[in-house]
Structure 1
């Protein structure tokens, strides 16, 4: 008669199953390098890891927004710089036209060059990005910023069709930066230039004529305002770029810090895990030996 009963066998099976489950779990931990694979491994540590992962996701989103916005601002700054150079060239020629000693023929010649520059200014204001969106229409990116009415008299043919709305991009906790630029003042600048050109193109144009002089002066005033406005916009974009660089560096440092914290909380101690696995394997082997020995015993052996 054998000693082991069904109850004893079930107990041995449960013991072996529990040990094998521990070994399997340790193997998964060693394979992943992570100590916490499920909440029950370390409830408090699991919560900390979850919070760190969420914060890392937010920081990565901020960095993604910063990268996209930085490209957009660089693009805007480049176009504004080109536009500023064209405005300054126009200003120089208009100053030459304002010289009372300039002959009528020279004024007509200057008007031709200024006409080309005017078209450059109009095109520069209505520039689009690679997706076909207007850069300088405020939030109305599908609308050309300058509308032209050929039936209107010179000085009122151009109107600003955009708005002054801003598209804000989140680049940090409670930190947003404007992604777009509006150039409402360009309509006035181009209108004053257009009116002055009508006078300069006329046969017998005379810069000393009071009406012509008034148109030239008005255009020079708008051009000066244009230089100031564009310079301020470029400076603002440069400042925004500096802010983005600092924020990106800060977010990168936080991600490194969070990664180190996550490693401290969830990284597996391989030496400790190996020791535990060795202990469980020894226990399993011992259990099999005990079960085998007990299974061979009978009541006669005991007696």
Structure 2
């Protein structure tokens, strides 16, 4: 007599096994709160999550760079603004010094104030940043990546700040030399020499006005980029949650449906098995 087991529908047994495994995975997803726990359970979702993780890591490094760059850019903006205000005062003093009715002692007072401003400028151009380095360093600008193929220099170099001031006619001069020339012109210069230095004082104000404006634009750019990355990270987090987290209500509904289907499959299998047995012993 043939074995009863050999006559049982193989596909019915397999269906019960599949349903049992699916029920177990659904139960696990409900208890853990994760829609899947192994790549094989959802290959496409796993691949997307891997891509999201890589992008999130990259964007986190950009966000860190932006935070550091913004601190440096704001410190540079504040320092340049202080120098700019001092340069404006320098120009005012040169206008006053060009008044030919001034007594020598009056010009000496102006020269002393200009020397004080010169010392202040030298200190500010050598100031340390909040991380212990030079705020305006010598050499090539230090750049930070804030997006794909986007690099920014949070602060201008020392050369850009105090080394290449355009005084017209294609000539440039350092801030310290310009201040020395102004002081000498006030103390011992001729009216014509003081007039030339007044033009140089205007060149200085234009130079620092441009630098301050550029720093303001950079700070705004960094803030806008940070907001864009924050929005991107929020969207990424929402997408990750949609992929990873279990929709509990839907999972419970599916769990109940699978239990019903398994029960029906078991009943059908039992009925088929009984019929086969009767046929064998009949």
TM-score between the two structures when normalised by the length of structure 1: 0.68
Contact map agreement 2:34 2:246 (CA 8 A) in 1: yes
Deviation at 1:119, TM superposition (A): 0.7
Give the Cα–Cα distance (whole angstroms) in 2 for the partners of residues 70 and 31 of structure 1.
44
Structure 1 residue 199: Cα displacement:
5.3
Q: Name the counterpart of 1:268.
A: 246
Aligned to 1:109: 109
Structure 1 segment 137-156 matched on structure 2, within 5 A: 137=137
| Distance in 2 (alpha carbons) for counterparts of 1:129 and 1:273 | 55
Report the counterpart of residue 189 of structure 1 in structure 2. Answer: 175
Give the equivalent residue in structure 1 for 2:65: 65
Q: Distance in 1 between matches of 2:247 and 2:22?
A: 16
TM-score (norm 2): 0.73
**Higher helix fraction: Structure 1 or Structure 2?**
2
Measure the CA separation in 1 of the matches of 2:257 and 2:134: 69
Q: Deviations over 1:212-264 (max 9, x none)?
A: x42x3453333222211211111111112222232223222222333333333
Unmatched 5+ stretches in structure 1: 1-15, 138-161, 288-301
Contact 2:65/2:145 (<8 A) preserved: yes
Contact 2:185 2:197 in 1 (8 A): no
Instruction: Choose the corresponding residue for 2:145, options 170, 190, 206.
Output: 170
Which residue is equivalent to 1:99?
99
Report the counterpart of residue 197 of structure 2 in structure 1: 219
Q: What does the per-residue CA deviation read over 1:30-86, in whole Å, with 9 as the maximum and x for residues that have no partner? A: 344221221011111211121122222222322222222112111110010001011
The one-character-per-residue Cα deviations of 1:105-138 (angstroms, maximum 9, x if unpaired) are 111121112111111111111111133311112x
Say if 1:171 and 1:177, in contact at 8 Å, map to a contact too.
Answer: yes
RMSD: 3.6
CA distance in structure 1 between the partners assigned to 2:216 and 2:205 by the alignment: 16
- Structure 2 CA distance for partners of 1:185 and 1:222, relative to 1, 3 Å: farther
Q: How many residues align?
A: 249
CA distance in 1, matches of 2:186, 2:250: 89
For the 8 Å contact 2:72–2:130, the answer to whether it is kept is: no
